[in-house]
Structure 1
């Protein structure tokens, strides 16, 4: 394993935690573990950081298993969490059981049902923080999707105070996707591939291609797009259009 890669990822997660005040003292952090590369890296990093970080916190991983996941996924995640020494819970939910008559199942409904299960578990078990595995590319794609489809300037914030007692955080917000892919590939974590039959060609894929075109594949340009979200010149923007 490359020490430089591990150092880069740890440094950027630490920076995100400190700059955006993602974790408070003695927080109980619930990590959303989908089984994809992003959530695996998030679990691996936060669990190690929790042992020596200046701000004390604990972690617990939650995986919502369902009929749309490959059967070997939950056992593989169980094995990995035990190997890493991370407390975990596997919830089994029927995601299609609440569909209305004639309603088609899709990515949006799947994500919403899994998010509902995550929130319910967090609130019932008094977790102060939910950690999600969204990286910088996810945030930029959401920005472009909101601009083009909703006509609004909005992305996914590194920290969202969901209620007075519960916040959602995105510690990977300063990390670009290709760094995650390279690291996870090098680590060779044995997790079944998730070939979702409902994925298809989505707006997010279109936005991802647009982000790559705008940044010309350069990390610095992509970072500048992200940086612009916190460097808004309101006096140089038009007012609202009625």
Structure 2
């Protein structure tokens, strides 16, 4: 009796094709969301010289990657330069970003500024470093943009960062404000854009895994467990588990503001609402300290 001939093993190609299809679908989704954000907020103009800030984290890698894809088919011409601020953190692998950027043929600048020592010296042990670190980092990036004539500064904040910042301001600073997709600096000299404003962090995580970006972990602020931002992020994650889609609704609400249904007199002219005559209205001092009025 002839021995049974074993059946051939299933070829792995269909699975590989499926993975590639999923990756391509995710890439298309990110391009669509970034393209929509660019169009909705007028982030990039013809002739722009774009400074793309690259930290070594998943968000900035994804931002650079998607912008490079869009640049190839964009209806306008603009340049991209990746810029990294080497803050001289101990153990920082300073070869990773240059090696990666050379491998993909992207123009890049590395700024060297020892902000780590400044923050470590000024901030007491156990206290959050984010505020001072952010100011020093922003100052270094703005100065570099000035020196090299960049017209836009692109940061890798995504949809979840924007929602997170809104609640940070709400809970800890008594302010209804957040992180706008496009921002003019206080001195009017720099335009900051956030092309990932519509992109979910979970999609960026999946994309970074597919692309195998050489992620550099942050051991300065990202490792601090007592951050207010970490508390808010944990809260939002629980909300999303309890009610999927809630963060997306909050994100949309930030772009659907009704000033007359809030309480900021600088944002909406409440005193003129329903006013019956042109006489000036009494101010708060008159209401609180004035004499009793005689009513016939």
| TM-based fold match above 0.5 | yes
Distance 1:151 1:52, change over 3 A: same
Whether the 8 Å contact between 1:128 and 1:165 is mirrored in structure 2 is no
Structure 1 vs Structure 2 CA RMSD: 2.3
Whether the 8 Å contact between 1:70 and 1:194 is mirrored in structure 2 is no
Does 1:60 find its partner at 2:85? no
Residue number among 138, 147, 155 corresponding to 1:124 in the alignment: 147
C-alpha separation in 1, matches of 2:175 and 2:88: 35
2:124 maps to what in 1? 104
Kindly state the Cα deviation for residue 3 of structure 1 after the two structures are TM-superposed. 0.7
C-alpha separation in 2, matches of 1:192 and 1:165: 31
Q: Which of 62-71 and 19-28 deviates more?
A: 62-71
Q: Number of aligned pairs?
A: 240
C-alpha separation in 2, matches of 1:101 and 1:175: 36
Does 1:222 find its partner at 2:247? yes
Bigger Rg over Cα = 2
Residue number among 142, 151, 169 corresponding to 1:146 in the alignment: 169
1:200 maps to what in 2? 224
Whether the 8 Å contact between 1:69 and 1:196 is mirrored in structure 2 is no
Of structures 1 and 2, the one scoring higher in RCO (CA 8 A, sep 6+) is 1
Q: Which of 215-224 and 23-32 deviates more?
A: 215-224
C-alpha separation in 2, matches of 1:197 and 1:204: 11
2:193 maps to what in 1? 169
Distance 1:5 1:238, change over 3 A: same
Residue number among 58, 77, 88 corresponding to 2:108 in the alignment: 88
1:20 maps to what in 2? 41
The SS at the match of 2:73 is: coil
Q: Which of 184-193 and 78-87 deviates more?
A: 184-193
Residues 1-34 of structure 1 show CA distances to partners (whole Å, capped at 9, x for unaligned) of 4110000001000000001101111100001111
Kindly state the Cα deviation for residue 191 of structure 1 after the two structures are TM-superposed. 3.4
Q: Which of 200-209 and 92-101 deviates more?
A: 92-101
Q: Please report the TM-score for the alignment, with normalisation by the length of structure 2.
A: 0.75
C-alpha separation in 2, matches of 1:51 and 1:28: 15
2:11 maps to what in 1? none
Distance 1:23 1:195, change over 3 A: same
C-alpha separation in 2, matches of 1:132 and 1:28: 14
